[in-house]
């Protein structure tokens, strides 16, 4: 990126000033994920002006966009050429940006088969805490020159630097997709997913909720048709299936909507990231399982330590995705050695500690 | 590597270090006589060598931790080593350092068919994981050409690719957890059995960190259901441009082949003499294009691939009829390196990545460089992901050929950066591409790499001197070179 770009030059000035004064900045794209992560502190650093697709070459399977580019705009451009972001990032509103998507590192139903945001990040241009513009990675899929700093940005919640531009791997949209549904309880559904996972099936996504398992098969038409015959179940109409997966992806499905009353009553939405074959998790409340068992959403009034203990028993970790009281921390704390590395990296990228303090961990 | 005012002699230092290590390791696990350490003087980049003070061969986590604690206390550099198949000198010893060989960490700990994962020690060979998973119908996807010898720990260090990574991803896409030790011997775990972990994605920086951030002892990888069937198309092209355009057309057609490889005429001739696989010797370029999946899927995809390749101007198409023929098609590609050994006393394998659309342009540049440097070059490409492996043929007995070969290699890397690519796709920087790092990264970017290293290894004892060039080195190199096509201080008047 050209540092003389007026939008970028302004950001550089703001960051240098913040560094000099030691005053925190909260980085903001479209502001659609303000509910996520720890408390927001400091002056707003709005990157939405840094917008636009810088380059898109369908035959290279790569798109480069400036951080403030709206995700819906990027996806529309890809769709025109029969391509997509295969990890289905959630859109919590139409204002969500590319930078916010990378920084949050959240992915949708297809993540289990297609990989996460980080798996599709090829390169990032970022602004560090000293106001320097740095580029890591690039626009090619295979690149091992230096440490993989660009992928470290995915899910970093802006604590290391301001993402200015990102290059992302894109993929052709699936030629065919069919959704099947099965009336199964949790135990049966998880058991069956464990069997299917190890078979050569075009399994793209799955979701279990309310005694019903949905499975999306996607890929070559012949492969999808053959898998449908093999798996059985009831085929869901294309429209209903699209609405169901979109509802999960964007969390517009009613399971995810916590009203102010729910929140006031202490109900929280927890995201449990579990080893896929982990046994059912027992908590009070309601559950929705995605990623063949690797992501288990809970709506519960249970205490944070109970939820974290339940996740830990199965070898996983729990994130307070939505909730009124975040005193117990949003993310599961990491151990001493990992925290020292986190602090060392923070020092490396943002020595004055200006970017999003406390958004990831209280002492970072 | 000592801060004391008077530097002890190397012999004295070696005696002290060996004595300290002997407190933690059995006698047979420490090598220090020159005749014993000689096999460890280099990895597969044999042109660069150094003699280590000692080589240790621990066989337990406790021993690895003890070695690291001792070396940390004595401020001794530690270079972890797997099978030594690396092509960039990443495992080259340090004269004042210890080689930590992890060859004894060769056990497969657990295959979990329900979770589709395998937990293995770092010294397990890449192909051994797939062999162990085969009874469950599963396999480990990344398949570097050295897969019969290279270890998973080395794959983690290099973020290795392979011919199938276009569809199945690199090491980084296929590893869930890495266990090991920090430089001071403290145990550490990156990632987990779940798909993600809280906090920063430290696994992202560990993968491909060339042994400079931590020592890996155990790796949990994802296993993938083995496709029921694979078929391969071998397409001939009369000119390089059409072959390059065919690659773009396949991707544009919404096809992601399981493998998409290109060989030029020189390479085809070399491998044909080596494996006798019926390659088309008259073709300017050969494209191998593979489809895998269910029988229905493969049938559908092969048809579409044939259409695209035909309209892209392929002069001849052969589709593998059975598994034996498919393996025959691949045998040449998989043997490209040994076959090159038959063409010339020595060869240097380069490894850069460029945008796919620049393939033809790059090949023409390489052709010109052949006359410029007076050396021959044969080319194999992971065409699907733009990763080139030009093999420069030379004679190491001739110092001038070595010099020209190095210049030729550097020219290829710098051309790759200029075309929008990178100096290394999958072999790593190691010691070999330090100068080229100066071309790809600005001083501030390189300084950040140093800071990242210090976040893990404050005293810079793990594999020091690799991957990140010093400012001084870049300044020397930069006198003749430019960064990203820009001369330093572009405003300065020049004659």
pLDDT in tens, B181-192: 999 999 999 999
Residues 55-74 of B with CB under 8 A from A: none
Q: Helices (H) and strands (E) in chain B — how many of each?
A: 18, 19
Summarize pLDDT for A230-239 with one digit per residue, the tens.
999 999 999 9
Per-residue confidence band for A105, with pLDDT thresholds at 50, 70 and 90: very high
The mean per-residue pLDDT over the stretch A3-31 comes to 94
Instruction: Compute the C-alpha angle B435/B440/B442, nearest 5°.
Output: 95
Q: How many angstroms separate the CA atoms of B180 and B395, rounded?
A: 41
In the predicted model, is pLDDT for residue A216 greater than 60? yes
- In a mutagenesis test of the B interface, which of A2, A107, A120, A142 is the best target, namely the one with the most B β-carbons within 10 Å? A142
pLDDT score, position B241: 87
Residue A223's closest chain B neighbor by CA?
B297
Which chain A residues contact residue B421 at CB under 8 A? 138, 140
Closest by CA to A152, choosing from B219, B452, B183, B251, is: B452
The mean per-residue pLDDT over the stretch A312-324 comes to 97
The mean per-residue pLDDT over the stretch B199-218 comes to 98
Q: Which 3 state secondary structure label does DSSP give A301? A: coil
In the predicted model, is pLDDT for residue B486 greater than 60? no
State how far residue A258 is from chain B, nearest Cα, in angstroms: 23
Per-residue confidence band for B482, with pLDDT thresholds at 50, 70 and 90: very low
pLDDT score, position A55: 96
Residues 298-317 of A with CB under 8 A from B: 315-317
What is the secondary structure of A2-27 as a DSSP string? -TT-HHHHHHHHHHHHHHHHT--EEE
Residue B422's closest chain A neighbor by CA?
A143
Select A267-322's CATH number: 3.40.630, 2.40.50, 3.30.70, 1.10.760. 3.30.70
Contact B169 A60 (CB under 8 A): no
Q: Between the ranges A55-59, B28-32, B242-246, B484-488, where is the mean pLDDT highest?
A: B28-32
The mean per-residue pLDDT over the stretch A348-355 comes to 98
pLDDT score, position B357: 87
B128 part of contact set with chain A, CB < 8 Å: no
Q: Out of B205, B256, B423, whose CB is closest to A147?
A: B205
Q: How many angstroms separate the CA atoms of A132 and A15, rounded?
A: 9
N residues, chain B:
495
Q: How many angstroms separate the CA atoms of B155 and B356, rounded?
A: 24
Give B312: exposed, middle or buried? Use CB within 10 Å, 0-12, 13-18, 19+: buried
Per-residue confidence band for B3, with pLDDT thresholds at 50, 70 and 90: low
Residue B133's closest chain A neighbor by CA?
A198
Q: How many angstroms separate the CA atoms of B386 and A136, rounded?
A: 18
Q: How many angstroms separate the CA atoms of A150 and A124, rounded?
A: 5
The mean per-residue pLDDT over the stretch B476-485 comes to 58
**Domain extent listing, chain A:** 6-172, 176-248, 267-322
pLDDT score, position B5: 60
Closest by CA to A214, choosing from A188, A244, A238, A194, is: A244
Summarize pLDDT for B49-92 with one digit per residue, the tens.
999 999 999 999 999 999 999 999 999 999 999 999 999 999 99
pLDDT score, position B483: 43
Residue B439's closest chain A neighbor by CA?
A145
- In a mutagenesis test of the B interface, which of A63, A105, A119, A143 is the best target, namely the one with the most B β-carbons within 10 Å? A143
Q: Do domains A6-172 and A176-248 have the same CATH topology?
A: no
In the predicted model, is pLDDT for residue A363 greater than 80? yes
Select A176-248's CATH number: 3.30.470, 2.30.30, 3.30.70, 2.130.10. 3.30.70
The mean predicted confidence, pLDDT, of chain A is 96
The secondary structure element, H or E, covering residue A169 is: strand A162-169
In the predicted model, is pLDDT for residue B481 greater than 80? no
**pTM score, whole prediction:** 0.95
Summarize pLDDT for B423-462 with one digit per residue, the tens.
999 999 999 999 999 999 999 999 999 999 999 999 999 9
The mean predicted confidence, pLDDT, of chain B is 92
Q: Which 3 state secondary structure label does DSSP give A161? A: coil
Edge to edge, what strands does the sheet with A268-273 contain?
Answer: A234-236, A176-182, A212-219, A203-209, A286-290, A295-300, A268-273, A317-322
Q: Which residues of B118-148 are buried (b: 16+ CB within 10 A; e: fewer)?
A: bbbbbbbbbbbbbebbeebebbbbbbbbbbe
Q: Helices (H) and strands (E) in chain A — how many of each?
A: 12, 17
pLDDT score, position B487: 40
Summarize pLDDT for B277-286 with one digit per residue, the tens.
889 999 999 9
The mean per-residue pLDDT over the stretch B25-46 comes to 95
- The mean-pLDDT minimum among A25-29, A206-210, B271-275 falls in B271-275
Residues 13-32 of A with CB under 8 A from B: none
Q: How far is CA A358 from the centre of its chain?
A: 19
pLDDT score, position B285: 94
What is the secondary structure of A109-127 as a DSSP string? TTHHHH--HHHHEEEEEEE
pLDDT score, position B247: 92
Torsion of CA B253, B254, B255, B256, to 10 degrees: 140
Q: Which CATH number does A6-172 carry?
A: 3.30.465.10
B207 part of contact set with chain A, CB < 8 Å: yes
Q: How many angstroms separate the CA atoms of B469 and A310, rounded?
A: 47
Q: How many angstroms separate the CA atoms of B455 and B450, rounded?
A: 9
Which chain B residues contact residue A146 at CB under 8 A? 429, 437, 440-441, 445-446, 449, 467-468
């Amino acid at each position: 990126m050209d540092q003389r770009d007026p939008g970028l030059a302004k950001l550089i000035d703001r960051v240098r000033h913040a560094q000099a004064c030691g005053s925190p900045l909260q980085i903001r794209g479209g502001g659609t994920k303000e509910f996520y992560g720890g408390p927001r502190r400091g002056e707003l650093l709005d990157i939405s002006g840094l917008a636009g697709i810088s380059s898109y070459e369908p035959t290279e399977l790569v798109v480069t966009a400036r951080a403030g580019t709206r995700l819906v705009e990027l996806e529309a451009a890809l769709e025109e050429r029969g391509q997509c972001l295969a990890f289905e990032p959630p859109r919590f509103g139409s204002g969500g940006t590319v930078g916010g998507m990378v920084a949050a590192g959240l992915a949708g139903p297809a993540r289990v088969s297609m990989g996460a945001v980080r798996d599709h990040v090829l390169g990032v241009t970022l602004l560090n805490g000293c106001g320097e513009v740095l580029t890591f990675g690039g626009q090619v899929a295979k690149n091992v020159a230096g440490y993989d700093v660009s992928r470290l940005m995915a899910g970093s919640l802006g604590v290391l630097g301001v993402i200015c531009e990102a290059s992302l791997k894109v993929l052709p949209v699936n030629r065919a997709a069919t959704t099947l549904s099965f009336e199964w309880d949790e135990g049966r559904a998880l058991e069956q997913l464990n069997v299917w996972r190890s078979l050569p099936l075009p399994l793209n996504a799955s979701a279990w909720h309310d005694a019903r398992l949905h499975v999306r098969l996607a890929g070559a038409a012949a492969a999808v048709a053959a898998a449908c015959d093999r798996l059985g179940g009831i085929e869901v109409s294309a429209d209903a299936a699209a609405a169901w997966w979109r509802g999960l992806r964007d969390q517009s499905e009613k399971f995810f909507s916590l009203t102010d009353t729910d929140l006031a009553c202490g109900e929280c939405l927890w995201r449990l990231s579990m080893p896929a074959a982990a046994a059912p998790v027992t908590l009070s409340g309601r559950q929705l399982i995605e990623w063949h068992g690797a992501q288990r959403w809970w709506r519960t009034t249970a205490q944070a330590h109970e939820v974290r203990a339940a996740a830990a028993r199965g070898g996983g970790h729990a994130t307070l995705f939505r909730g009124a009281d975040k005193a117990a921390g949003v993310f599961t704390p990491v151990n001493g050695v990992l925290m020292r590395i986190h602090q060392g990296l923070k020092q490396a990228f943002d020595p004055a500690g200006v970017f999003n303090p406390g958004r990831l961990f209280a002492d970072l | 590597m000592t801060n004391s005012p008077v530097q002890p002699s190397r012999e004295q230092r070696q005696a002290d270090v060996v004595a300290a290590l002997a407190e933690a390791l059995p006698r047979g696990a420490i090598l220090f006589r020159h005749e014993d350490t000689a096999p460890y003087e280099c990895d597969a980049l044999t042109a660069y060598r150094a003699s280590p003070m000692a080589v240790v061969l621990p066989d337990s986590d406790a021993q690895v931790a003890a070695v690291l604690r001792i070396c940390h206390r004595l401020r001794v550099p530690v270079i972890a080593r797997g099978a030594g198949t690396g092509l960039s000198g990443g495992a080259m010893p340090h004269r004042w350092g210890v080689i930590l060989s992890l060859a004894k960490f060769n056990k497969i700990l657990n295959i979990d068919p329900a979770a589709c994962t395998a937990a293995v020690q770092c010294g397990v060979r890449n192909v051994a994981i797939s062999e162990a998973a085969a009874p469950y119908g599963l396999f480990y996807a990344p398949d570097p050409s050295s897969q019969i010898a290279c270890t998973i720990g080395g794959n983690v260090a290099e973020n290795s690719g392979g011919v199938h990574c276009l569809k199945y991803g690199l090491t980084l896409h296929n590893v869930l957890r890495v266990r090991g030790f920090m430089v001071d011997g403290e145990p550490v775990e990156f990632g987990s059995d779940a798909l993600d972990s809280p906090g920063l994605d430290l696994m992202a920086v560990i993968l491909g960190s060339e042994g400079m951030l931590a020592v890996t002892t155990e790796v949990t990888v994802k296993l993938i259901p083995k496709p029921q069937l694979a078929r391969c198309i071998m397409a001939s092209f009369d000119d390089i441009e059409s072959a390059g355009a065919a690659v773009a057309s396949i991707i544009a057609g919404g096809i992601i082949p399981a493998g998409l490889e290109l060989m030029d005429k020189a390479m085809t001739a070399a491998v044909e003499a080596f494996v006798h696989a019926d390659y088309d010797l008259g073709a300017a370029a050969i494209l191998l294009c593979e489809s895998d999946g269910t029988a229905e899927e493969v049938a559908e995809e092969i048809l579409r691939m044939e259409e695209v390749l035909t309209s892209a101007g392929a002069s001849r198409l052969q589709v593998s009829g059975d598994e034996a023929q498919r393996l025959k098609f691949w045998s040449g590609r998989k043997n490209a390196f040994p076959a090159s050994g038959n063409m010339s006393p020595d060869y240097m394998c380069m490894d850069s990545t460029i945008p796919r659309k620049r393939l033809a342009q790059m090949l023409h540049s390489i052709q010109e460089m052949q006359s410029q440097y007076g050396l021959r070059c044969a080319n194999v490409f992971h065409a699907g992901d733009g990763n080139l492996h030009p093999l420069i043929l030379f004679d190491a007995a001739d110092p001038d050929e070595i010099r020209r070969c190095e210049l030729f290699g550097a020219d290829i890397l710098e051309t790759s950066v200029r075309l929008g690519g990178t100096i290394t796709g999958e072999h790593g920087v190691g010691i070999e591409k330090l100068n080229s790092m100066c071309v790809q990264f600005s001083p501030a970017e390189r300084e950040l790499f140093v800071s990242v290293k210090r976040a893990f290894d404050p005293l810079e004892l793990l594999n020091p001197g690799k991957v990140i060039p010093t400012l001084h080195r870049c300044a020397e190199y930069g006198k003749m070179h430019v960064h990203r096509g820009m001369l330093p201080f572009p405003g300065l008047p020049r004659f």
